[in-house]
Structure 1
Amino acid sequence: MDFNFKIIGLIICIYFTFCSGYNEELKIKGELRKACSKRGHIRQPERRVNTTTRLIELRKLMKSELTLGTSAIDAYIVFSGDEHQSVDCDEYDRRREYISGFSGSYGDAIITQEKAVLWTDGRYHLQADEQINCGWLLMREGHKSIPTRAQWLKEQLPFGGRVGVDPRIISEYQWLELKNEFLEGHLKLVALNVSLIDIIWKPEERPKRRNKDVFVWDLQYAGKNYSRKLSEVRDEMKKEGADAMIVTALDEISWLLNIKGRDVPYSPFVRSYVIIEKYDVYLYVNRSQLVRNNVTQYLQAPMPFTVTDTVIIKDYQDIWPDLRTKSQKYEKILVPTKCVYSAGASHAIYTHIPVNKILPRQSPIVYLKAIKNPVEIKGMRHAQIVDAAALCDCLAYFEKRFSLGDSFTEMDMAKILDTYRYEQNLSLGNSFRTIVGFASNAAQPHYEPTVNTNFKIFDNSTVVLDSGGQYFSGTTDVTRTLHFGTPTEDEKEAYTRVLIGSIQLSTLIFPSNMRMSGVDVLSRSPLWEVGLDYLHETGHGIGAFLEVHESPIKIHYNSDVSSQQEFKPGYFFSNEPGLYREGEFGVRLENILEVIEKPWLPHSSGHEFLGFKIITLVPYEPKLIKLSLLSVQHRRWLNHYNEQVRIHVGTELKRQNRMEGFYWMMSKTEHIPEYGHSNIISSQPVIICLANTFLFILFII
């Protein structure tokens, strides 16, 4: 009998090993797909989009020399951004979403005559699998052995194969990267004069392009006028040996000229280009957007060449002929290249300037705007408090209504929270689309509720609520995990380990020459020690009434750009560890941190010491915290944090007479015992030792 059980156990072990290896092979090929079995008819996910007809139309154009104006192409790459390389772009510009059905903010599609493939990262693996139909392959970036776009194309296409792209949508950095990788496979990258997606996208199906009025960001929030900012940029241009610079990124233009708009969802940007010369500034924009709100007068446009730093306004499309003509008088023109989230200028921009006059550099504006001035710092802190008041009041409402038997769906919660936030003074709405995920939906890091996936909220699992606001004083981004019932031990342990990681990163003090990538170990170590991890980055920079993902800050231990960047006082960034159990539940906690100086510490190393100030002040969920996992230091930190919430957010709630939110906040921030039974010893010395070892290895490498 014992022998038979051993045989059965061995067979089961061999079976699961085989299945695991088989699934891994399918994943590498992109063939591991949900509900895409070739045997029988499996119910498809509700939000799956059938793009078969669109692919047929696209493939016809790929063979049409008349349409292309050149020889046929063997593959076509569709990127996710617009011609300004925006992360979140206008619905009108979402070409990759149209051809694939995938709506996430990151991902690229490649279409050949036989196959269609989507690449995306760990934030969107589950979402992409449910949205793209079974005719697509899915490359899950972040997993081992997943081929790059170039590697896959070299395997698929014949010798001399032609790969077409829209040169306005691909950055010069991506263009050169692909071109160099294609040399080995003898493939040719082709810049097309037409956008194939624009041709097949029927006007009646395509959303209208946004065209909202522009307004001025007042000096009481900006802290610097645009003349001073131009002077700072020109100083940087001079250091680089450039006598002109083109600005293509919308967040950089918004910061530089202190102008705001609504041309991009969730970010206050104006669709435009800027050329900076030694004395003149040219703004390429839709003139009709400047008529109201006295923007033209603000930019001094009626008085060209008579006032220092007069902004000369030109039509948006004039940028293309002007680049060819104006570049003749420049010795060197600084053209932005990639910097973390900032992709740099498009290939089309580069091709309109003589090669010998191009000075490819990271945009100096990226670093200038990342360091907030004192007015912006004060505004960012204020925005977090106002936003926290709205969030506390809203969460109090949810908890009360749920206890009375009311029911909510994910979309209900998102809509109600958006309303609470929009009611706040100086609010311009969300900084990104509100994420509310319940149970298995919460296991998708960047899940967004839709009509087809809209779960009803019950009391038997976690709810991940990730949201942010745009205020005239600053930008917010906060995530909290809720539970309306009694959490399981697994849920409590997951939540607490994520919380410990968040605390450990927040309390770090470090020399100013430390690389950003090094701090990631502090957030992940509580998960690593039990064999767990999350596939997204731990943090990103955040702007002041700008973009919610701002360069140059990116926190990830395995990122080349993170290992090259250093923290500066005045930087703001997110700290957002998480844990996701596919098909079960998810946990994520996110705060905004400000980088501050620690001037009282001795500079024995020759470098000043820095630390972090947590400015997000929203209570954690006490019933999800497993106190036995917290060390004395963790508990002390949590009590201090709760005290700050009561002082700052409590005052704001009372000022706004939001007393239900106030009492809810008080109940969630009660003092916890700092001494008592703990299942773990204080991990702080161990973690610091681990972090220092990790950093030492990085520096050696």
Structure 2
Amino acid sequence: MASSNGARAVVLSHFDQSRPAVDIVNYSMSPTLDKIRRAFGGIAPRVLDKELRIQASDAPARVAALLIESEDAHGSEYVSARDKRRAFVSGFDGSAGTALITHDQAYLWTDGRYFLQAESQLSKEWTLMRQLQKDVPTVEEWVEANLKAGDALAIDPLLTSVATARRLVESASKAKASIVCCEWGQNVVDQVWGADQPPRVPSDLQVLGDHFTGGLLNCLTGSSCAQVRADLDKKKATAIVLTALDDIAWMFNVRGSDVEFNPVVISYALVTLSSATLFVDAKELTPEVLAHFGSDVQVKPYDSIIAEVRSTYAAGTPDATILVDPAQCNVAIFSAIPLALRKESPSIVLRQKAFKNPVEIQGMKNAHLRDGVAQVKFFSWLEEAIAAGEVISEVAADKKQQEFRQQMEHYKSLSFGTISGSGPNGAIIHYHATDEAKCGRITTDQVYLNDSGAQYLDGTTDVTRTVHLGQPTAHEIHCFTHVLKAHIALATPGYYEDGAFGIRIESLMVVVEFCTFETITMIPIQRKFIDASVLTRDEIAWVDAYHAEVRAKLSPLLQDAPSALAYLERETRPLEQQ
């Protein structure tokens, strides 16, 4: 899946250069935007100072604009239905974007993955701000250039990270303006959304067994806690506030389903040198969970995190130092920590959980083998169905692919919404077909891009393969082969030709000392799409070696599926063998 993390993906996009970087449109007042703007006046004058303390002010706030970000209170890129505020306001439902609403304008910033999608989803009230394009200001640059002296930009401190708020405060101060915070629990969008806003669902906590983790992450009696507390000691800190959901899942070794496609539990955590508290609204603390936590973990209500931090450290607890990650921690929690007790540091959990133990690595490999079996069965089925003249829609292909995955051991869910894009739909980087009647059909004269993945108990998969069910054109082969060359060098490249097709090849890898990678995705790369004459000898050797490994590992698992086995054997032949 194309990621916002630049280290993961290289996207070579071919967009219509005649299209302006900023779409200027005619505005008409929508009911939702009108209600949002009327709510500006109800925001209390709670000013965010340069130390990111929320200070009450006697002066009325002249709110000129409201910032609505994509993330939830945990900085998550993928959020629960309740937290999709930016999507509710704008109609744009991509995973990344920032909305800014003034009294007479509405702006939406997003990156190159979503330009085409935003164009199609935004109504005429909105101006699309194409990030990183020439003459397009960042949000902070817009704030500095457009706010007037005495103006205020309103944010929700629960939904804004410390790092973001710091940049906004700096930009606003240059304009002699300010950043003001709505009261906790008084989010403007939530007020407008009203009864239609999806409710918060109590979390269903599940313990991940030691046989999946290697026994090294056994709650707070295991090495995860020992490692974190050792790092706290090294940094001369006495506690750490955890807000990122994946950090908490790793630290406490619990999983859930609070966010679609993500096995996380909506929660906060406060871990000290001698105690640990998990703030979560649990549906039920099962005997298994209680036994797992034992006496090491206290469980408190989700919304009590700020009150707990304030009461615990209000008096300036002697010798206390609380570690927070400014990129992850929200302003509301950060401001509740006394200034003298704050110590900023990149998440120590983030780094630790990146180092996988042998059991975890083997689990990931096993998950990818099963996923490879499901994928080979899917592409074999798709090829046969199209050849037989069946009409297969993008949605139907998505559903069939999920059926194959559901047959695999330890399957839990998809890991993201499948990108099943035929022809021009494949050029929309995060395209997701949902309407059977309106989606595209997979044909023999168009490129088909499939970016998908699954959550298994022992690992997560994310893979993209691009195929042609007929005969690709010389141009398509040329583009595919160059994407393949980039894949061999960079792992996750893509080429998207607006209005024509998209091509991506994506595999997951394990870092191996020293200094290389081991590909764990085991799915063939379509041979007829490859022009071997363009590849170097080393690149041909790489493809042949990869395909030999895929064939050797998947063949024993496909003995009961002769069509899929034949497909595998054909697609993994050496490139120079006809």
The structure 2 residue matched to 1:269, chosen from 260, 264, 270, is 264
8 Å CA contact retained: 1:51, 1:99:
no
Q: Which residue of 1 aligns with 2:310?
A: 324
8 Å CA contact retained: 1:442, 1:587:
yes
After superposition, give the CA deviation of every residue in 1:212-267 in whole Å (9 maximum; x if it has no partner): 42110001111212222101000001111101111111100100111000111111
Q: Superposed, which structure 2 residues align to 1:212-611 within 5 Å?
A: 212-223=203-214, 224=216, 225-226=218-219, 227=221, 228-290=223-285, 292=286, 294-300=288-294, 304=295, 310-327=296-313, 328=315, 329=317, 331-338=319-326, 343-451=327-435, 454-503=439-488, 505=489, 523=490, 575-597=491-513, 609-611=514-516
Q: Which residue of 1 aligns with 2:150?
A: 160
Rate the CA distance shift 1:243–1:174 in 2: closer, same or farther, 3 A: same
Rate the CA distance shift 1:389–1:199 in 2: closer, same or farther, 3 A: same
Q: Which residue of 2 aligns with 1:632?
A: 537
Q: CA deviation at 1:175?
A: 0.4
Q: CA deviation at 1:455?
A: 1.0
8 Å CA contact retained: 2:44, 2:182:
no
Q: CA deviation at 1:658?
A: 3.0
The structure 2 residue matched to 1:642, chosen from 547, 559, 563, is 547
Alpha-carbon distance in structure 2 between the residues aligned to 1:236 and 1:610: 26
Alpha-carbon distance in structure 1 between the residues aligned to 2:274 and 2:323: 18
8 Å CA contact retained: 2:483, 2:493:
yes
Paired residues in the alignment total 542
Rate the CA distance shift 1:411–1:37 in 2: closer, same or farther, 3 A: farther
Rate the CA distance shift 1:65–1:501 in 2: closer, same or farther, 3 A: closer
Q: CA deviation at 1:273?
A: 1.1
- Could you state the TM-score of these two structures normalised by the residue count of structure 2? 0.90
Q: Where in structure 2 are there 5+ consecutive unaligned residues?
A: 1-15, 47-55
Q: CA deviation at 1:622?
A: 1.2
8 Å CA contact retained: 1:172, 1:344:
yes
Q: CA deviation at 1:626?
A: 1.3
After superposition, give the CA deviation of every residue in 1:383-411 in whole Å (9 maximum; x if it has no partner): 11111111111111111111111111111
Q: Which residue of 1 aligns with 2:5?
A: none
8 Å CA contact retained: 2:206, 2:289:
yes
Three-state SS of the structure 1 residue aligned to 2:40 is: helix
Q: Find runs of 4+ consecutive structure 1 residues off by over 4 angstroms.
A: 65-70
Q: Which residue of 2 aligns with 1:685?
A: none
Alpha-carbon distance in structure 2 between the residues aligned to 1:659 and 1:274: 50
Higher mean displacement: 140-149 or 635-644: 140-149
Alpha-carbon distance in structure 1 between the residues aligned to 2:411 and 2:287: 18
- Letter matched to residue 220 of structure 1: H
Alpha-carbon distance in structure 2 between the residues aligned to 1:648 and 1:333: 51
The structure 2 residue matched to 1:182, chosen from 160, 172, 184, is 172
Q: Which residue of 1 aligns with 2:138?
A: 148
Q: CA deviation at 1:332?
A: 3.7
Three-state SS of the structure 2 residue aligned to 1:186 is: coil
The sequence identity of aligned pairs, in percent, is 30
- Letter matched to residue 190 of structure 1: V
- Letter matched to residue 620 of structure 1: I
Answering whether residue 105 of structure 2 is matched by residue 115 of structure 1, we say yes
Alpha-carbon distance in structure 1 between the residues aligned to 2:455 and 2:29: 34
Alpha-carbon distance in structure 1 between the residues aligned to 2:44 and 2:240: 37
8 Å CA contact retained: 1:127, 1:444:
yes
Rate the CA distance shift 1:124–1:289 in 2: closer, same or farther, 3 A: farther
Answering whether residue 63 of structure 2 is matched by residue 77 of structure 1, we say no
- Letter matched to residue 338 of structure 2: P
Alpha-carbon distance in structure 2 between the residues aligned to 1:231 and 1:133: 52
Q: CA deviation at 1:293?
A: 5.9
- Letter matched to residue 209 of structure 2: D
After superposition, give the CA deviation of every residue in 1:165-191 in whole Å (9 maximum; x if it has no partner): 000000011000111122211221111
Alpha-carbon distance in structure 2 between the residues aligned to 1:413 and 1:395: 9
Q: Which residue of 1 aligns with 2:40?
A: 62
8 Å CA contact retained: 1:619, 1:668:
yes
8 Å CA contact retained: 1:285, 1:315:
yes
Q: CA deviation at 1:67?
A: 11
After superposition, give the CA deviation of every residue in 1:355-409 in whole Å (9 maximum; x if it has no partner): 1101111110000001111111111111111111111111111111111111111
Alpha-carbon distance in structure 2 between the residues aligned to 1:367 and 1:51: 47
Answering whether residue 200 of structure 2 is matched by residue 209 of structure 1, we say yes
- Could you state the TM-score of these two structures normalised by the residue count of structure 1? 0.74
Alpha-carbon distance in structure 2 between the residues aligned to 1:58 and 1:411: 35
8 Å CA contact retained: 1:287, 1:314:
no
